[in-house]
Amino acid sequence: MEGLVAQVIGLSNPNDLNQLLTALKSSETVFNQNYQQIVPALQALDPAQHSLAYAFFLHHLAKGNLPTPNAAFMDSASRFLIVCDASQIQLAPDVFVSVARKLKTHVLAGAAPCPRRGVAPLLAGLRALQPNPEVLTPLHADFFQLCLLSRCYSAAAPVLDQDIFDVAPQQTGSTPTDLFLYCYYGGMLCIGEQGRKQHARALELLLQAVTAPSLAGNAIVAAAYKKYVLVCLIHAGALQPLPKFTSSCVKHVIDAEARPYNELAAAYAARNGDKLRRAAEQHGAVFAADGNLGLVRQVLASMAVRSIQRLTQTFLTLSLEDIAANAGLAGGAQEAEARIVRMVAAGQITAKIDGRSGMVRFADDTARGGGGASTSSAAAGVSAAGGGGGGSWDSAASVAMLDERMRAVLELGKRLQQAHEMVSQDRAYLTKVTARERSKYDLGGGAGGLGAGLAGPGGGASGETDFGPFSASGAAV
């Protein structure tokens, strides 16, 4: 063991890291035989300087029969995750991830779990593991889970707002399950946080989970879809159909598992308060079992809000009784009054109640952009940015906001272009495309087309479509 420690200290400079990695990987037996000496050895190492080795030592320490929770392990692992050197631990992502996950287990174990303790270390670990902020790591899901359990929504916000574009399984060792869990927990965090913008993001994440390529239905997808339905109803007022590239086995799972949710959505689409309430009650047990009762309650509440919002677009003044009757409120005028007061306070409608005559006067809010019922997140953001009121589009703030959005769009466009170029230069893709084109045009073509096919990649993106007929004529000659 001492030899190993000495080796670590000797090789922990950037040039010899690979050699060290091989040494550490091959010394499995050393760790197993000298399990008792791992803790003292850790004392001799510095988590920042010898990050790679530290990860291995911690990994083997946690692998043994360490009782959970173990305070000493938690301390050293937390410190390690926070101070570790990114370039070192990225050499052994699997070991690093396993240490972080062990920390999570320890944090969550025992009689008094303290998930909050793991939030900061995991965030630091996640950042260290990411080659750049757009890459998914296996730790995303674990980090989100801890944030959820400790209700540290604010800690997760920066990670949540960052879009993930790359999964890079070679660099971080992430698996499809990590992606599903990232989307699912991320969606749940967004739901937990209040505010419209977050709902939109939650929908995006949940939809990503549902539509991710999959050859087998899994429970995460089913759970994500259930939440997707409910959030969709709350946020958009209607269930948006799944995109057509959703894999068929996911559709099967959804059909089988989420029938109560689809029924709820159908009742919502019928704009029938009674029917919705009945659907919610009928499947109450299912919703409770899935842990979605709170969301279902929000769906019911949003129905009333939506119907009152619709009324504001139909009427200028309306008596409280009529509102209650139109919106299907069971509590009559009192409930209508209470609800309107609440909605006005929340800024969902603008209205004045005449207490004496029981009349409600709705202010004209069509000028406020989007006009209530189906306000998209963008429009909501604008009316906030523009300071509300009529003509909010004339302000400098809204121009700046538009500008910023345009820039975001252009940015994405550029990225798309890059991706397109990358694909069009990809050798495997080009051979496949030329092969397909050839089989389309040249049914009898044999080896003659092959030479032409190899010349293909130089042609680039625009060449690939013109290419087929060429090869066909070549073969014919």
* 341 lines the binding site for other proteins (CB under 8 A): no
Single-letter code of the amino acid located at 55: A
Q: 245 phi and psi, to 5 degrees? A: -85, 5
Q: Using CA atoms, how far apart are residues 196 and 401, in angstroms rounded to an integer?
A: 17
Q: Using CA atoms, how far apart are residues 456 and 433, in angstroms rounded to an integer?
A: 10
CA atoms lying within 13 Å on the CB side of residue 222:
15
How many residues form the binding site for other proteins (CB under 8 A)? 69
Q: Using CA atoms, how far apart are residues 253 and 180, in angstroms rounded to an integer?
A: 15
Check the CA dihedral 31-36-37-40 and report its sign: positive
Choice from 235, 368, 470, 471 touching other proteins (CB under 8 A): 368
Asked if residue 429 lies in contact with residue 421, where contact means CB atoms within 8 angstroms, the answer is no
* 269 lines the binding site for other proteins (CB under 8 A): no
Q: How far is the CB of 200 from other proteins (least distance, A)?
A: 8
Q: How far is the CB of 196 from other proteins (least distance, A)?
A: 12
Give buried/exposed letters for 133-147 (b at 16+ CB in 10 A, else e).
Answer: eebbbbbbbbbbbbb
Choice from 160, 212, 299, 340 touching other proteins (CB under 8 A): 212
Q: Using CA atoms, how far apart are residues 398 and 385, in angstroms rounded to an integer?
A: 7
* 315 lines the binding site for other proteins (CB under 8 A): yes
* 219 lines the binding site for other proteins (CB under 8 A): no
H/E run at residue 38 = helix 38-44
**Where in 35-74 is the site for other proteins (CB under 8 A)?**
none
- Which lies closer to other proteins via its Cβ, residue 51 or residue 312? 312
Asked if residue 168 lies in contact with residue 136, where contact means CB atoms within 8 angstroms, the answer is yes
Q: Using CA atoms, how far apart are residues 175 and 169, in angstroms rounded to an integer?
A: 7
Residues 412-451 vs other proteins: string with x where CB under 8 A? xx-xx--x---x-----x--x-------------------
- Which lies closer to other proteins via its Cβ, residue 25 or residue 407? 407
All residues at 6 or more sequence positions from 384 whose CB lies less than 8 Å from its CB, including other chains = none
Q: How far is the CB of 109 from other proteins (least distance, A)?
A: 28
Choice from 406, 454, 461, 476 touching other proteins (CB under 8 A): 406
Q: Using CA atoms, how far apart are residues 229 and 292, in angstroms rounded to an integer?
A: 11
Asked if residue 31 lies in contact with residue 70, where contact means CB atoms within 8 angstroms, the answer is no
Choice from 41, 167, 233, 295 touching other proteins (CB under 8 A): 167
Residues 178-197 vs other proteins: string with x where CB under 8 A? -xx-----------------
Choice from 379, 384, 397, 455 touching other proteins (CB under 8 A): 379
The pair of three-digit structure tokens given for residue 434, joined into one six-digit string? 């030329």
Binding part of the chain for other proteins, among 99-107, 154-162, 216-224, 291-299 by CB under 8 A, reads 216-224
Choice from 12, 137, 198, 211 touching other proteins (CB under 8 A): 211
Asked if residue 153 lies in contact with residue 192, where contact means CB atoms within 8 angstroms, the answer is yes
Binding part of the chain for other proteins, among 101-109, 252-260, 295-303, 400-408 by CB under 8 A, reads 400-408
Residues found near other proteins in the complex (CB under 8 A)? 163-169, 176-177, 179-180, 200, 204, 207-208, 211-218, 243-245, 247, 249, 310, 313-319, 322, 326, 357, 359, 361-362, 364, 366-371, 376-379, 382, 393, 399, 402, 405-406, 408-409, 412-413, 415-416, 419, 423, 429, 432
